[in-house]
């Protein structure tokens, strides 16, 4: 029983037998609670995510997340060691007989959200982390996976070696780039502050560009220490975006006129250009930042591999040695 092995595990309803010890709370993922622990078998510290399976919907979500994380293997993606059932049972590919599964994954020291609570990052650290984030995204997108919930809390960092890894694929989806998914991908969308206009306007129809939009917002936040667009609700979020981001495509303008006719006219122009909204970015001299943010935040989608590569090259640089937390 878990209670005989670890009090914290028992308190949070974890039942993995006695293999894992020294449980400590870490946080919540999209689909479940996460604790840190020590794997007595391998003697390494791990993060353990508990996913409850109570009905057909939660079963579908769990199956989808596990299927995705098992196929991803990259330096900038949080590594999953194994997926276990209650009492540490081997799943053997069968989720249907369990009401709880545990994802045993790589332990990371902190996340970007916690780092940003201390203020903006230095130019060197922002560039290094952005380079790694884009490498991870390129890999994810080349596997036809959309993360869909990219935000600082889901970007994990070890401050000693300055390694960044993307984690929490609880809302991720596998997509076919040659097939329209309209109407099939609507539930559980990304946190609204990192949500693109395409998601705000048409949540049932989106592409890899939504992750790139979130990446642009995250870069701005790393350099300024504050969220780029922090609306209190979806309408205000869209208003803040439209004050800054130009709309080039006629189809987007027509859609905006239908949805927000009182806010958008045929002669609409931006009121607060990006460079005025982010004076700190220019003053820091991060040469790649304004160009990257503009390319990811303009409504013309960035979603193919060649575009990913050109953006990654913007942030190529010698490694920074360390950082304080």
Longest dimension (CA), the chain: 69
* Residue 90 phi, psi (nearest 5): -75, 130
161 Cβ neighbours under 8 A, 6+ residues apart:
none
Instruction: Examine the residue annotation and report whether 39 is marked as an active-site residue of this protein.
Output: no
Whether 41 and 89 have beta carbons less than 8 Å apart is answered as no
Helix then strand then coil, % of the chain, to nearest 5: 40, 15, 45
Q: Cα separation of 90 and 111, whole Å? A: 30
Q: Cα separation of 106 and 83, whole Å? A: 12
State how far the alpha carbon of 12 is from the alpha carbons of 26, 59, 209, 238, 304, in Å: 12, 21, 37, 38, 42
Q: Is residue 67 marked as binding?
A: no
161 CA to centre of own chain: 21
Nearest to 136 by CA among 152, 121, 147: 147
- Kindly name the residue from 39, 111, 149, 211 that is annotated as catalytic: 149
Q: Cα separation of 39 and 111, whole Å? A: 22
Give the residue numbers of the binding site for ATP. 50
For the annotated catalytic residues, the residue numbers are 149
């Amino acid at each position: 029983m878990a209670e005989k092995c670890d009090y914290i595990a028992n308190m949070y309803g974890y039942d993995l037998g006695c293999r894992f010890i020294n449980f400590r709370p870490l946080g919540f993922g999209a689909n479940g609670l996460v604790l840190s622990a020590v794997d007595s078998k391998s003697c390494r510290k791990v993060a353990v995510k508990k996913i409850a399976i109570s009905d057909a919907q939660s079963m579908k979500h769990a199956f989808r997340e596990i299927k995705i994380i098992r196929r991803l293997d990259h330096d900038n993606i949080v590594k999953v060691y194994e997926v276990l059932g209650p009492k540490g049972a081997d799943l053997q590919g069968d989720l249907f007989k369990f009401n709880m599964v545990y994802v045993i994954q790589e332990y990371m020291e902190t996340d970007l959200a916690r780092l940003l609570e201390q203020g903006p990052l230095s130019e060197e650290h922002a560039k290094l982390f952005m380079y790694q984030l884009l490498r991870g995204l390129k890999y994810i997108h080349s596997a036809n996976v959309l993360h869909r919930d990219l935000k600082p809390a889901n970007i994990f960092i070890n401050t000693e070696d300055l390694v960044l890894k993307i984690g929490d694929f609880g809302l991720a989806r596998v997509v076919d780039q040659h097939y329209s998914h309209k109407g099939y991908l609507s539930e559980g969308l990304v946190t609204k502050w990192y949500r693109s206009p395409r998601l705000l306007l048409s949540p049932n129809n989106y592409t890899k560009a939504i992750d790139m939009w979130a990446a642009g917002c995250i870069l701005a936040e790393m350099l300024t220490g504050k969220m780029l667009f922090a609306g209190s609700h979806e309408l205000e979020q869209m208003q803040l975006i439209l004050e800054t981001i130009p709309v080039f495509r006629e189809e987007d303008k027509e859609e905006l006129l239908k949805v927000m006719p009182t806010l958008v006219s045929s002669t609409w122009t931006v009121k607060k250009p990006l460079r005025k909204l982010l004076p700190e970015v220019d003053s820091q001299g991060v040469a790649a930042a304004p160009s990257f943010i503009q390319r990811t935040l303009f409504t013309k989608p960035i979603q193919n591999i060649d575009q990913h590569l050109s953006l990654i090259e913007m942030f190529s640089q010698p490694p920074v040695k360390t950082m304080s937390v």
